[in-house]
Structure 1
Amino acid sequence: MEHRGLDAYGYIEREGALGRIQPEFSGVVAAARARISEAYGRRLHSAYLYGSVPRGTARPGRSDLDLLLALHHEPTDEDRDTAEVLGQGLDEDFPQIDGVGILLYDKDTLLSEQERYDLGWFLACLCTPLLGADLAEHLPRYRPDATLARESNGDLALLLPRWRARFDAASAPAEYRRMSRFFARHLVRTGFTLVMPRWGGWTSDLTESAAIFGRYYPERAEQMRDAAVVALEPVEDPAVVRWLIEDLAPWLADEYTARHGTKTPRRTQQPA
């Protein structure tokens, strides 16, 4: 029987756990815990891991380390600079990871009604507690429904102009590589959440996500499979990045809006 990431009551199970971290990544996780605590001190409410490392599917030398930090107050420029230095240091010191991504928010935003089905869901279902009191205790359970689909990924059309501007400003192979991974991941996950309510479950596995999407959109199945490959094996070819943002993304944005509507506007924009 196909496992769809739900508990016995139909709620999305929280993925990831500290006990699933592979031995190869235990050192970098321990260092992240210590360095986060030292860098933010009392400003930090809690810290979380997400992505392949806490799911136990990370690939040494290829996977990045993803962190969410919840502060007691709205992040300042100094807080963001601290996060950048922290991420660079971890990336340089631990060759088993390929990059560090750090999301930085204040706890009130993460628990706000506005973010209930976006950042709140993300923290409650996709993040693994690393430091501090778990904010998920103050959030509801979530089902793979149309509301979650709309509020989590219903903003692709708004992101595309920013993606295109980022692409136009790029010139170095390393920039195209980073964009190919970021854009492809986002598109595969958006493709999955487009069909998530019909499939009736949750997965963060990109290959599985693309396969599930293809069941409902066979005419775009090959493209989504190709995007999943790029998400896992990023490339430096600007033509691939252009294809993602000029072919697959516009179609996906239009289809998403037609089926689920547009994400509720936010006071502050989320990262592109």
Structure 2
Amino acid sequence: MADTVPPKGLDDRGYIEREGSLTRVPDAFRPVVAAARERLQDVFGARLHSAYLYGSVPRGTARVGRSDLDLLVALRAEPTDADRQAARVLGAALDKEFPQIDGAGTLLYGRARLLSDLERYDLGWFVACLCTPLLGADLAAFLPRYRPDSLLARETNGDLALFLPRWRERIAGAEDREEARRPLVRFMSRHLVRTGFTLVMPRWQGWTSDLREMAEVFGAYYPERARQMRTAAEYGYEPVGDPEVLHSYVDDLGPWLAEEYTRVHGTKAPRPD
């Protein structure tokens, strides 16, 4: 059954096609994108090398009042604490001003890191395949084309085991607050579904960013875990505040997935941070 799933998200040579485009941004989100473009220039000025959109907004699947605005900024030098604070202030201002979005976040990196050998199959791939150019010269011109192979799987999500202790700490800190648990469920659900998908991606030979489709593809190869992953995909879109969901992630699904990932693809190359 699994081998009959048609490949998606690849060009006719088997490379992952870049998803997203400014032409796909829904009309309701165009004022937000325009404001982000203008304000990023104001905030970072000449230090800004390039900026990108990623996520549901450039894919054209964003939901008014439910989706967030995701940005990635490449600076000409490594970001400082002041840069990170400025990005947080910008995100908060956009979120407050535009009811179309439910939050705004900015990933900040130096150009050199994004183009480094260490990040070629992680952040580099992310920029080249999952990010839509918004400002400046596109770094994808300096990056290779990517296939859905085991190397890409290892370097994108082969570090889940490192995250689980941190997740347990975050869960403990939100134990008595449902409003804090709900975003944790959303974040961890999405991370687990994407990790489950990239575990089987080289066998499926395709790419998708749709959580439900990711869960279905995973379930074709691991039917004994299919229901858990489908449920996680739903919580990735519509999170609940149930603490039992979080504990199941760090006590059952997460540890199993981390062990299986290491067995199949190995461990991601260590990063300094």
Take 2:112 and 2:213, find their aligned partners in 1: how far apart are those partners?
A: 34
1:108 to 84, 98, 112: 112
1:95 to 99, 108, 114: 99
**1:18 equivalent in structure 2:** 22
* Letter of the structure 1 residue corresponding to residue 268 of structure 2: K
How many matched pairs? 268
**2:150 equivalent in structure 1:** 146
* Letter of the structure 2 residue corresponding to residue 165 of structure 1: E
Deviations 1:103-128 (A, max 9, x none): 11000000000000000000000000
Q: State the 1:10 CA deviation.
A: 0.5
Q: State the 1:235 CA deviation.
A: 1.7
Runs of 4+ in 1 over 4 A off after TM superposition: none
More off after superposition, 257-266 vs 162-171: 162-171
2:46 to 38, 42, 45: 42
**2:241 equivalent in structure 1:** 236
**2:35 equivalent in structure 1:** 31
- 2:57 is aligned with 1:53: yes
**1:8 equivalent in structure 2:** 12
Contact persistence 2:65–2:100 (CA under 8 A): yes
Counterpart of 1:95 in 2: which secondary structure? coil
Take 1:247 and 1:29, find their aligned partners in 2: how far apart are those partners?
A: 39
**2:183 equivalent in structure 1:** 178
- 2:200 is aligned with 1:203: no
Structure 2 unmatched ranges of 5 or more: none
1:212-251 alignment to 2 at 5 Å?
212-251=217-256
Counterpart of 2:108 in 1: which secondary structure? strand
More off after superposition, 97-106 vs 117-126: 97-106
Take 1:73 and 1:216, find their aligned partners in 2: how far apart are those partners?
A: 43
* Letter of the structure 2 residue corresponding to residue 210 of structure 1: A
Take 2:196 and 2:250, find their aligned partners in 1: how far apart are those partners?
A: 14
Contact persistence 2:186–2:238 (CA under 8 A): yes
**2:80 equivalent in structure 1:** 76
- 2:163 is aligned with 1:155: no
Contact persistence 2:49–2:136 (CA under 8 A): yes
Deviations 1:145-167 (A, max 9, x none): 00000000000001111111111
1:119 to 113, 118, 123: 123
Q: State the 1:239 CA deviation.
A: 2.0
Q: State the 1:81 CA deviation.
A: 0.3
Change (3 A) 1:27 1:202: same
* Letter of the structure 2 residue corresponding to residue 221 of structure 1: A
Q: State the 1:174 CA deviation.
A: 2.3
Root mean square deviation, CA, Å = 1.0
Take 1:102 and 1:178, find their aligned partners in 2: how far apart are those partners?
A: 17
* Letter of the structure 1 residue corresponding to residue 246 of structure 2: V
TM-score by length of 1: 0.96
1:131-142 alignment to 2 at 5 Å?
131-142=135-146
Deviations 1:157-189 (A, max 9, x none): 011111111111124322211111110000000
Q: State the 1:3 CA deviation.
A: 5.1
Q: State the 1:43 CA deviation.
A: 1.2
